[in-house]
């Protein structure tokens, strides 16, 4: 079966979670063609990867900030270019005889699939129309952007609604099916990761991450006085503590980042959908902050409160470095991890392959007729 996978390049979260599905599809004989500007490191199991953006996501002037005005303007520009993109993509889908379009979660991809006569399945826990609606009262001139997004999503055949993080209501799709949480299986053990980074056996390990964004202004110099811990940090954070023996940088293109999440005793950073799913799946504690005025904040916080050993810090406290004082407490306090289904990759891949096969069979029948 041939599946075209359109994936948002907003941050790394969309690509990271769909990596698990793409790997599973490839293992079951599916041929996946990725259409995304996200880093190719996530798509090693794909047959090909076309690096293009098919949505806007959110314009982020800083690691924990959003620019709604610039975002709406950018999507308005995308709408003016949309007819040409649809024509080009529909021609490609037909020429490649694609059996199914999977989407996380560019609305434009649903329109491309409809134009090509190929079923489209959206795989996500939130949608861009709900994100933009959060800011739309301040930008009434762009309400047509929300209408266009909802109309494009409405052309999908099906939405597979990921249940973790907690999703919002999907009222624009013709059919909605819930699927379990989605996380990547480990390719290295905790011991192998710690050995690769030469973590002393008596040390606890903290991973600092902003989900594909730069570290930002958060102060980490207090790590110099913290005994018994080792830290894996982003290159932009490492500049503050260069030379400390218990702090090591992790390249932004590091493969299989989820192995680091599972090996860490605690992840420190911004809560995002993929990161939240990974810490819960691998039972890693999290000290987190949230984007300023981000639509999904309440759902992310509710998910972490319900399913994860976690602690929230407001942005000002987080950037001041107050999380350093919370490290020992969060990893030593008693916590009973609640059970949660995280076999989404298996369920989603199976559903996509079944739908692709149905379309291929229909097309074969039409050709014979």
Which pLDDT value is given to residue 252? 83
Q: What is the dihedral of CA 108, 112, 118, 123, to 10 degrees?
A: -20
SS3 62: coil
Hey, where are the domains in the chain?
Answer: 2-182+343-368, 190-332
Please tell us whether the domain made up of 2-182+343-368 is placed in CATH 3.30.565.10. no
The domains spanning 2-182+343-368 and 190-332 adopt the same CATH topology? yes
Nearest CA to 276 out of 189, 209, 335, 336 is that of 209
Which pLDDT value is given to residue 225? 86
Which pLDDT value is given to residue 291? 84
Which pLDDT value is given to residue 64? 87
CATH class of 190-332: alpha beta
Task: Report the distance separating Cα 127 and Cα 37, nearest Å.
Answer: 19
The pTM for the full model equals 0.95
User: How far is residue 20 CA from its own chain's centroid?
Assistant: 11
From first to last of its 369 residues, the chain has per-residue pLDDT tens of: 999 999 999 989 999 999 999 999 999 999 999 999 999 999 999 999 999 999 999 998 888 889 999 999 999 999 999 999 999 999 999 999 999 999 999 999 999 999 999 999 999 999 999 999 999 999 999 999 999 999 999 999 999 999 999 999 999 999 999 999 999 999 999 999 999 999 999 999 999 998 877 888 889 999 988 999 999 999 989 999 998 999 999 988 898 999 999 999 999 999 999 999 999 999 999 999 998 888 889 999 999 999 999 999 999 999 999 999 999 999 999 999 999 999 999 999 999 999 999 999 998 887 765
* Runs of H (alpha helix) within the chain: 13-27, 68-95, 107-116, 128-133, 143-153, 190-196, 235-238, 257-263, 273-281, 297-307, 315-320, 327-332, 344-368
């Amino acid at each position: 079966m041939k599946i075209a996978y359109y994936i948002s390049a907003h941050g790394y979260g969309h690509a990271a979670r769909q990596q698990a599905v793409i790997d599973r599809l490839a293992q079951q004989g599916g041929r996946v063609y990725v259409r995304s500007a996200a880093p190719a490191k996530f798509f090693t199991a794909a047959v090909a990867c076309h690096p293009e953006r098919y949505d806007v996501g959110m314009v982020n002037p800083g690691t924990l900030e959003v620019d709604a005005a610039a975002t709406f303007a950018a999507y308005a520009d995308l709408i003016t270019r949309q007819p040409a993109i649809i024509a080009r993509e529909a021609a490609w889908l037909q020429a490649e005889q694609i059996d199914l379009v999977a989407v996380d979660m560019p609305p434009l991809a649903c329109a491309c699939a409809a134009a090509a006569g190929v079923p489209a399945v959206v795989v996500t826990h939130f949608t861009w129309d709900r994100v933009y609606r959060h800011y739309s009262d301040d930008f009434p001139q762009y309400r047509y952007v929300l209408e266009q997004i909802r109309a494009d999503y409405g052309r999908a055949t099906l939405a597979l609604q990921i249940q973790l993080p907690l999703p919002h209501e999907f009222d624009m799709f013709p059919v909605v099916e819930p699927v379990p949480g989605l996380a990547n299986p480990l390719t290295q053990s905790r011991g192998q990761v710690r050995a690769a980074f030469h973590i002393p056996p008596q040390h606890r390990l903290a991973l600092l991450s902003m989900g594909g964004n730069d570290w930002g202004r958060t102060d980490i110099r207090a790590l110099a006085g913290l005994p018994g811990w080792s830290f894996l940090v982003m290159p932009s954070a490492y500049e503050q503590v260069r030379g400390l023996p218990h702090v090591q940088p992790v390249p932004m293109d590091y493969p299989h980042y989820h192995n680091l999440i599972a090996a860490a005793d605690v992840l420190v950073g911004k809560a995002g959908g993929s990161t939240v799913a990974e810490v819960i799946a691998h039972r890693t504690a999290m000290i987190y902050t949230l984007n300023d005025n981000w639509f999904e904040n309440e759902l992310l916080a509710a998910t972490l409160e319900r399913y994860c050993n976690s602690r929230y810090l407001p942005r000002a406290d987080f950037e001041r470095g107050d999380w350093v004082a919370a490290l020992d407490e969060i990893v030593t306090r008693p916590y009973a991890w609640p059970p949660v289904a995280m076999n989404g990759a298996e369920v989603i891949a199976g559903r996509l392959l079944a739908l692709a096969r149905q379309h291929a069979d229909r097309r074969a029948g039409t050709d014979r007729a």
